[in-house]
Structures are given as structure tokens and as C-alpha cells.
Amino acid sequence: MTHRDRPGTAAEVFSAFLPLGFTSFGGPVAHLGFFRTAFVERRGWMSDAAYADLVALCQFLPGPASSQVGMAIGLQRAGFPGLLAAWTAFTLPSAIALAAFGLLVTGVGFGAGAGWILGLKASAAAVVANALLGMAASLAATRARAAIAGAATVAMLLAPDPAVMQLVVIAVGAIAGLWLAVPDAAPDDHAPRAPVGRRVGIATLAGFFALLLLLPLAAAWSPALDLLDRTYRSGALVFGGGHVVLPLLQGEMAGLVPPDAFLAGYGAAQAVPGPLFTFAAYLGAVAEPFGGVAGAIVALVGIFLPSVLLVVGIMPFWDRVRRATVARRALAGVNAAVVGLLAAAFYDPVIVQGVPTHAALALAVAAFVALRHLAVPPWAVVAAAGAVGGALL
């Protein structure tokens, strides 16, 4: 019996993912490369074709693609305990680090004008600019997709209520994609094994939509449910993963987290390994009135819970969904729209609120050049920007 055929255990999955949780720098694309090396080449848990189809599945879903691929690998290897083990091992190292940073900032006082805070915000501007260019090149490369992205940017910048407009932009992007966007090539004939039945899939998908509809009604009952609702909605509606979560979280956390604290934490999130969505742990820790350790836990669970439900729910139906031209066209339009969402967020709050002086702008430009043209790792850029900001700003 090969490694690919032998059922695994949750402990085996946890021990395989934990080193990745401590060392996976570089963002979602790099994470997927690390996963392929670890689980296709080294351990032989699946074939290249099976792994490629898992990646395609998770890029089709809203949420953090690399975390969802990890969940799917754990689910296929050891069932539901394997899914939880993979998520825990890959997520907790960065989540603990960011929550601890949030508690430290809260304990000593934020000091929005402190030089190191300005440096972190400048590094955040550089990271978002670099991500925006990369996403535009791949997701808005045609005239039709660029038009969708441009319209989304204009709509977000002019919207009186950005939180509502984000939902409108995603929906309109899907509709526009049906008419304008050309989908990627049709998928091959390989599909990942579904480790759950269709009944379980239907139940978890129903749970996903029920929480999306009911949590806003329960949010008024307590600050904890309010925080859970905001982070759950962000995790459920962010297409593209990675840096695209910035505009959704920024809109959802308005009133709970000051803008300066938000951007400083976003910069700090670039310096830790693992998924960028663990930024939610920092936001939960600094949120008011419900924050601290409990807030970090609630926010972390809230932003990742949609991914758990979607991965489990869609796998039994994935082979049929991925072959539907309508679904692939709609997804192409959504992906173009999220480029526009990120472009609007790059202007406000990243530039408007995060780069207040010429010196801060100079630091942001230097950080961008280091990222884009000198291939300096993001964690090193963030650390250097914080140090330079502390010394000079």
C-alpha cells in the first residue's frame, strides 16, 4: 500500500503541517509551492494532477486559497480531524504572533505618531502596491476584465457606504463576467477524491449560508457576536484571498479598530509566516469593546469558518461545478472586480491614512522597490521599514 492509498491520522497531518506554519513566508503562491514539495514530492500523499485540482477548487472558492488547500489535504488524508489538524498547525504560529503584537500594542498604548508605526504603515503601502500590480497582470489582463476592475474602483471610491458597495461590486462583477470575461481553459478530466458524501456537503453548504444570513441578526445581542459576524462575512465574501481581504476587513472593522492601528497591524502581518488571514487575530485583540485574547480567538474562528464549510461542502460537487462555463465566466468577472476593490483600498485607507508625510512616502517607495525589483522577502522589508521609521520618522 502506497503513502497515497494508506489512510493517515490527525497527528500525522499536524506534524507535517506544523513546520510549514513556522516557515511558509511569501504569500499564497509560495505556500502552494511549499505544499506541493511537502505532500506531492516528499510524502507522496497525492499525485500532481490531484494536487493541481485541489488548487483549482480552492481558487474557485472565496477565502484564503492556501489555507483551503491545506484544509483539503488534511480532509483527504485523515477526514475531519485531519482538516482541523492541518488548519491548526498551519495557522496558529502566525495567529499567536499577531495576537501577541496586538496585546502588546494595546498594553503600552498605540502612539499613532510613533516612528515605527509610520514605518509599518509605509511597508503596508508597499506590499499592497506590489500585490495590486501582480493581481492586475493576471486577473485583469484583457480589456474586458480591466474594464470591470476600473468600474469597481470608481464605484468603491464614490460609494457613500463602502461596506455595502463591496457586495454590490462582487455581484455585478459576476454578472459582467458572464457577458464580457473569457474563462480560462476547460479543466482536465481529473478530479480530487471527495472524502465526504453529498448529504454532508449539502448540510455544510446550508450551514455556510445560514450563518451568513443569521449572524447579522444576532450581532446586536453581544459584542462577541458582532465581532464574529464581521469577520465571518469578510471570510465568506473575499474572492482572491491574500491582500484582497484588506478592503473587506477595513470596512467591516470600522468603528472597532482605529485606522492607524489597522494599517500598522496589516504591515506587521507581512512579517510573519503562514496565511495573511491571521491578521484577524490581531484585529480581534485590539478591537473595542470586545478584544484581548477572547477577541483574537473569536475573530480568527470567524474569518476561517467559512472556508471550512465551503471546502467540505463543495468537494462532492466539484467535478460538475468546475466544468460549467457559466461558473468559470462568473468567477473571471469576480476576480477582475476584486482587483478594483484592492485598487480603491490602496488609495483609501492605505495611501490617504497610511502615508501622511513626504518622508513616509519616500520610505514606502523604497520598500516597494525592495519588494518588486530587489526580491527582498516581505518580512525583511517590514522589519527594516519599522526600524527606519523608528529612527527617522
78 and 13 Cβ atoms separated by less than 8 Å? yes
Q: How many CB atoms lie within 10 A of CB 255?
A: 10
- In degrees, rounded to 5, the angle at the alpha carbon of residue 354 between the alpha carbons of residues 350 and 355 is 110
Residue-level pLDDT, tens digit, the chain, 393 residues: 445 555 678 999 999 999 999 888 767 767 887 888 889 888 889 887 778 778 777 877 888 888 999 999 999 899 899 999 999 999 999 999 999 999 988 766 555 557 877 888 888 888 888 878 887 888 888 899 999 999 999 998 998 877 678 778 888 988 998 887 666 555 555 555 667 788 998 999 999 999 999 999 999 999 999 999 999 999 998 876 667 788 888 888 888 998 888 888 888 888 888 888 999 999 999 998 888 999 999 999 999 999 999 999 988 887 777 677 787 788 788 888 888 888 888 888 788 877 888 999 999 999 999 988 898 887 788 889 888 988 887
- Determine, yes or no, domain membership for 4: no
Candidates 94, 57, 97, 60; CA nearest to 73 is 57
pLDDT of 267-302, one tens digit each? 888 888 888 899 999 999 999 888 899 999 999 999
Determine if the pTM surpasses 0.85: no
Residues 6+ apart with CB under 8 A from 49: 188, 190
Domains of the chain: total? 1
Candidates 270, 241, 295, 291; CA nearest to 350 is 270
- Determine, yes or no, domain membership for 62: yes
The beta-carbon contacts of 139-144 under 8 Å, at least 24 apart in sequence, are: 139/240, 139/335, 139/336, 139/338, 139/339, 140/336, 140/339, 142/181, 142/182, 144/180, 144/181, 144/182, 144/336
- Determine, yes or no, domain membership for 3: no
76 and 195 Cβ atoms separated by less than 8 Å? yes
Q: State the residue range of the domain holding 370.
A: 10-108+115-392
- Determine, yes or no, domain membership for 367: yes
- Determine, yes or no, domain membership for 16: yes
Rounded Cα distance, 71 and 83, in Å: 5
